[in-house]
Structure 1
Amino acid sequence: MADVVYRPEIHIERLPGSVRKAHLPAEQAPVIFGTHGAVAEHYGRAPGTYEPHATTLDYVIAAAGG
């Protein structure tokens, strides 16, 4: 088996509600994950009671190239 060549050091902070702050390698500022639109509605978040942020699913889709 080949040697491990990369092991990411990632720290996730849980914030109130559905917000997460991710500290990722090579990024100066943390990345904020949350909910918005239909996803927020699905989880019972009333419009105007939260600051919308991209979901983790949004980032996975973007990382996969669309």
Structure 2
Amino acid sequence: MATFLRSSELQHISLTSTKISSGNILTFVVVTPKERRKGHWIIKPFLVHPHHDATLCPVRAFQQLQHYH
């Protein structure tokens, strides 16, 4: 997942916003409090689709990470 996001944005993922749909699509938002547009925080929504190879699948990697924390 780090290839899709800047490393500085990883710490701004709202874990309460993460959802995995029935199609194994991971959705989450990144809230960047330092960046503002017209006085409001910038919120960037992301969709991450699964990879057919389980060893390269970012959704599966996130599920494993979530399981261990």
Give the TM-score range, shorter chain: 0.3 to 0.5
Q: Which has the higher strand share?
A: 2
What is the TM-score of this pair, normalised by structure 2?
0.35
Determine which structure has the larger helix proportion and give its number: 2
**Larger Rg over CA atoms:** 1
TM-score normalised by structure 1 residue count: 0.36
